[in-house]
Amino acid sequence: MELLKEVLEKNKEKYLERLSELVAIDTHDLGHGIKGGLEKKGQDYIAELFRSMGAEVTLDPMKEEDIEKCFTLYQEGNLGHNQTDRYNVYATFQGEKSGRTLMFNGHMDVMPAEEVEEWTSPPFSPSIRDGKIFGRGTADMKGGLMAATMAVQLLKDAGVPFSGTVKISSVCDEEGGGNGSMQAIMSGERADGVVVCEGTSDELILAHMGFVFFRVKFTGKSCHSGAKKEGVSAIDKAIKVIQALNEKEHEWLLHYKHPLLPAPNLNVGVIHGGTAGSTVADECMFEVCVHYLPNQMSHNQVVKEFREVVERVARSDAWLEEHLPEVSIYQSGGGFEMEEDAPFVNSFKRAYSEARGKKVKVVGSPAGCDSRLWKNIAECPTIQFGPGNLAQCHGIDEWLDLEAYYQSILIYAELILDFCKAE
């Protein structure tokens, strides 16, 4: 450990330079990935970096048929995204002896930085200030992706051999719902343990909530508001359904609890209806995100109970019974939960303790990520740990604490040594 710490100290500037080079490449997605993404130059960069480090490198173009298959088999998949010039990069580093396979997973796409004038420094010109690196993608999640890469480099720089196999998967279209990791999984990528390198504020995430986004549309009958009794307000009908959905949320709050996660919840985040205050609204639409608990609840259950609420209200209302609300789902993702007593988790705890001199705090996250895909579909033991924090993701003046970046490199290197050795 002392040797790794010494070599890390000597090479901090080099490891930071690699991260800065990657952040400087604009890889933002377009319309949450639906219209495409600019990952190509970033993927070209990291593929060349992997090759220079001696890795076997595979390029895996995004394929709509694979996403469709994933959606059909597992109810995971965001269909119809523009995949032009989008591909995953997989690096494989072979150890000197046989052993387990460890994968680090990260995404190359970042959110757009459209409010450029509000940034203290340009979002794609990384700036170092006050022990932090500022730039779009530093926390979400080029810091984690590069920390995993530099963990392998650290072992090479220290002349420390490792056993087994280390893989790094740099994927596309994560911000659009996780299509890149789905592509990797459908292409057969697997490991004995997977680290999703999203920022976790120096905590180990072993659970996150599932989510379903609903859109509900209502039809009313328009007329002048002075003759309101001649019309039917679609807004009023929508409010009746929203009130019933809030009662369903309260029911969930009473029935479900989780040691690491908040209670399941339902949020009406968007509502549109009507054209003027003097006109009875003939249309209304609202969008809802439901967050639910892993294992205790399921996608099918949430969809069934949501639809039942809408249908129950419709049956109790003469207008709605004849003009049924239209319910659709426009994005969803499963929940994630990893057993804390699993060997992979214990290996990470040892690596963290060795690097940091303390025990890691185990938590859950309300925000979903690719952890669910590697655990639920690929059936790999999976944990989530990386530099950065949720509060910085997608924000103006996004930043990453440099010490967190360096510590993650050290922890990942220790994990390689601990987990990949032969059983």
Q: Which residue has the tokens 């032969």?
A: 422
The string of pLDDT tens digits covering residues 343-374 is 999 999 999 999 999 999 999 998 889 999 99
User: Tell me, what's the pLDDT at 244?
Assistant: 98
The string of pLDDT tens digits covering residues 311-335 is 999 999 999 999 999 999 988 899 9
The string of pLDDT tens digits covering residues 221-265 is 999 999 999 999 999 999 999 999 999 999 999 999 999 999 999
Token duo for residue 268: 């009406």
Classify residue 80 as left (phi > 0), alpha (psi -120 to 50) or beta: left
Cα separation, 386 vs 393, whole angstroms:
13
CATH class of the domain at 2-208+336-419: alpha beta
Distances (CA, A) of 388 to 50, 176, 197, 377: 23, 20, 10, 26
The string of pLDDT tens digits covering residues 190-205 is 999 999 999 999 999 9
| pLDDT over 90 at 423, yes or no | no
| pLDDT over 90 at 395, yes or no | no
| pLDDT over 70 at 390, yes or no | yes
Name the residue among 333, 331, 345 with its Cα closest to residue 371: 333
Cα separation, 218 vs 329, whole angstroms:
15
Distances (CA, A) of 54 to 50, 192, 285, 372: 7, 22, 54, 30
Looking at CATH, the fold of the domain delimited by 210-333 is given as Alpha-Beta Plaits (3.30.70)
> Are 175 and 106 contacting, i.e. CB atoms less than 8 angstroms apart?
no
Cα angle, residue 35 at apex, residues 32 and 40 outer, rounded to 5°: 90
User: Tell me, what's the pLDDT at 391?
Assistant: 79
| pLDDT over 80 at 421, yes or no | yes
User: Among positive and negative, which fits the CA dihedral 370, 338, 345, 419?
Assistant: negative
> What stretch of H or E contains 44?
helix 40-52
Taking residues 158-165, report their average pLDDT.
98
> Are 334 and 376 contacting, i.e. CB atoms less than 8 angstroms apart?
yes
| pLDDT over 80 at 422, yes or no | no
Classify residue 131 as left (phi > 0), alpha (psi -120 to 50) or beta: left
Cα separation, 223 vs 203, whole angstroms:
57
CB-based contacts of 115, cutoff 8 Å, min separation 6: 396
> Are 291 and 211 contacting, i.e. CB atoms less than 8 angstroms apart?
yes
Burial 65-99 (b: 16+ CB within 10 A, else e): ebbeebbeebbbbbeebbbeebbbbbbbbebeeeb
Q: Percent of the chain, pLDDT > 70? A: 100
Q: What are phi and psi of 284, to 5 degrees?
A: -155, 145
Name the residue among 306, 261, 299 with its Cα closest to residue 376: 299
**Can you give 204-252 as a three-state secondary structure string?**
EEEEECEEEEEEEEEECECCEHHHHHHCECHHHHHHHHHHHHHHHHHHH
Q: Domain residue spans in the chain?
A: 2-208+336-419, 210-333
| pLDDT over 90 at 171, yes or no | yes
